[in-house]
Chains A and B, each alone.
Chain A
């Protein structure tokens, strides 16, 4: 068989991505139809930049979701005589497999296209959750630091500055190493870091339903049950039902990324809290005799949501970059892993001769982060309007 040209490669990739196009069109049709009823999310569709960003982000989200249908080959499988082949090369012996390597083969004769698609899943499995946990930690510590001020604030700010003064790369080299995984450090850090979200949701509900003990007990009990179940699995790999779990490698990466991100979120939340706590509605709540946690979580936090949502988008992008950095230095990833960072690292050795194995993941990573940044910019613009 003959190698195929660029036009046919693009057409075939578009065809493979069919589920993604369908999902994207549906999302946009529904969102545009009901945009006036969807709050900030609906307003996003008034800004062109925000819409472009949202489309790119959702493209990668759907790609990660439907990855099993999209891939043309096994992301880890090697095909003989396909080493470093250029995009569009046909397989010597297809026999029931897809006939072409659409974006060529890498140094180990694996399909570059399938690896990039599976790489999206690797990244999107970690980045949003790491950003979310960082946010919960930043909020849980930043609100009281800004609200109570005083000694607590001094101590927490010193700790945050301490972590921020650490060069990120040095921290990664020290924290994400095989020797560290053998020690208790990642487990202990995970034990502390993952406990905060559970506490956060518990305090959140407790502050709200404090006056209705029956409801409060039910909600807090449910959160406690569910949270501790997930906590036991994620932090200590001791889930009795085996539903939640993280390999030591993944846990190590997760903990390191959260550890780097949380202090920045803390500083942002603290700054906003310092500003908002002087407002009249906070004084009104204080006069009503509301408890400090109710004021922090149900008066201050909802009014700080604009900048926080924007920063959340940016932070997912930054986390993606950090994960790429980790992969680039071969830290904390399985040797065969299709994640973008380590694929770029593997591809850079032959970069000047065969650029495609490194270029495809590099452009993928760039487009995802760009999409998130554009989305954040659109959200910022729209949230400033009201």
Chain B
């Protein structure tokens, strides 16, 4: 087990290095750096001015060296400008005594966000907290709903319940977040169309709309009215897939010998499902739910932009649109770590839940 973990850890680190290098490469293309220089120091710069600005701010060295500086394995750049002021990567980040030291993410220096004009570490940690709440509620809604739908459908294969629930699951996988979000807002959060005006005219609700189409207020206080739509939008798209996996796994278990034996023994049907089938049927969905988490990240970006909820996904979007290199790098590190850690948990969980598999 220890050897397995160590090997997985090695592969994880290698993957993370490759991915961050790709992100670093794509955000540090000459054309992107030119955009950065122009947004930082004035849009009417000539090519020569852009080149000298980049040279002065440490973007002149080869890309692989700058990647090393960012990682913290290569000493930061140092130079003295014409007026004799000492400048350097670590001088800007710490102070003058640190010139020539290493100061990358290995030392905990994530850099500064050019979009939010604040340290990247602060921006990311604050936004991650906001997204954490969103994800928590999504999982609380999505997982039980998906499991119940899947188990009910898979319990009696081919029955009418199975047909209708399977069609529902298929429909939910066919509705991406930007479609369901738009449908929800038009139906439930508009003061002119959909359900809200009807409910207002009946006197059932006080405010102008049933649910709020803007989740910014959830940053201070999460309420049922401002958080339902974003959570439902993400949960709905993710639910269908997990439900279908659960159904497939459940139907397979229901045809096993031990279920037939239990049936012949005269065990009641609810007892068979709850005691014999369910535990074995939930192994496959568990791995899928874990693997679903990084996949939900897509939905998080779309939903946070659609409902203007300033969380991690919204930050990723802002960083990408404004070519905020250091913020984008930090965000991709977080995203990659989330992906790899959930993969690891899903592997370990699979082994732990399924005693038939043992790692040599």
Contact = CB atoms under 8 A, between A and B. Distances in A.
A366 B237 CA distance: 12
Contact of B31 (A182, A345, A353): A182
A175 B19 contact: no
Contacts of B336: 165-167
Nearest to A359: B186
B170 interface: yes
B260 interface: no
Contact of A174 (B178, B297, B320): B320
Contacts of B298: 167-169, 325
Contacts of B297: 167, 169
B171 A174 contact: no
B190 A358 contact: no
B72 interface: no
Given A317-B174, A348-B306, A358 B15 contact: no
Contact of B182 (A162, A165, A358): A358
A269 interface: no
Interface stretch (A1-9, A75-83, A112-120, A369-377): A369-377
A351 B214 CA distance: 12
A162 B19 contact: yes
A179 B32 contact: yes
Interface in B35-84: 35
Determine which residue in A162, A175, A347, A372 has the highest number of CB atoms from chain B within 10 A of its CB, and name it.
A162
B185 A162 contact: no
A352 B197 CA distance: 12
A351 B178 CA distance: 12
Given A170-B332, A351-B213, A325 B176 contact: yes
Given A161-B15, A325-B302, A377-B170, A183 B178 contact: no
Given A165-B340, A351-B190, A353-B192, A324 B176 contact: yes
B234 to A, nearest CB: 13
A328 interface: yes
A243 interface: no
B189 interface: yes
B335 interface: yes
Determine which residue in B179, B185, B190, B306 has the highest number of CB atoms from chain A within 10 A of its CB, and name it.
B179
Contacts of B340: 165
A321 interface: yes
Contact of A362 (B166, B170, B183, B191): B183
Contacts of B192: 352-353
Contact of A352 (B31, B213, B339, B343): B213
Interface string A144-177: 0000000000000010011001111110011101
A344 B178 contact: yes
B277 interface: no
A304 interface: no
B175 A366 contact: yes
A162 B343 CA distance: 12
B167 to A, nearest CB: 7
B123 to A, nearest CB: 16
B176 A321 contact: yes
A173 B170 contact: no
Given A321-B176, A328-B302, A366-B179, A179 B186 contact: no
Contacts of A161: 15
Contact of A179 (B35, B191, B305): B35
Interface in B272-325: 294, 297-298, 301-302, 305-306, 313, 316-317, 320-321
A167 to B, nearest CB: 5
Contacts of B11: 158
B193 interface: yes
B241 to A, nearest CB: 11
A344 B182 contact: yes
Contacts of B183: 359, 362-363
A191 interface: no
B339 A359 contact: no
B27 interface: yes
A57 B242 CA distance: 25
Interface in A331-386: 341, 344-345, 347-348, 351-353, 355, 358-359, 362-363, 365-366, 369-370, 372-374, 377
B26 interface: yes
A365 B185 contact: no
Interface string B24-35: 001101011001
A64 interface: no
A314 to B, nearest CB: 9
B301 to A, nearest CB: 5
B23 interface: yes
B173 interface: yes
Nearest to A168: B298
A341 B301 CA distance: 15
Contact of A170 (B191, B305, B306, B316): B316
A179 B25 CA distance: 13
Interface in A49-79: 49
B5 interface: no
Contacts of B191: 352
A351 B186 contact: yes
B213 A329 contact: no
Interface of B: 11, 15, 18-19, 22-23, 26-27, 29, 31-32, 35, 166-167, 170-171, 173-176, 178-179, 182-183, 185-186, 189-194, 209, 213, 294, 297-298, 301-302, 305-306, 313, 316-317, 320-321, 331-332, 335-336, 339-340, 343
Interface of A: 49, 158, 161-162, 165-170, 173-175, 177, 179-180, 182-183, 185, 317, 321, 324-325, 328-329, 341, 344-345, 347-348, 351-353, 355, 358-359, 362-363, 365-366, 369-370, 372-374, 377
The 4 closest A-B CB pairs, nearest first, are A173-B320, A355-B186, A179-B31, A370-B174
Given A325-B176, A359-B183, 11 more contacts: A167-B298, A170-B316, A179-B35, A180-B29, A321-B176, A325-B302, A344-B178, A345-B178, A359-B182, A366-B175, A370-B170
7 contacts: A158-B15, A167-B332, A174-B27, A351-B186, A352-B185, A353-B190, A355-B186
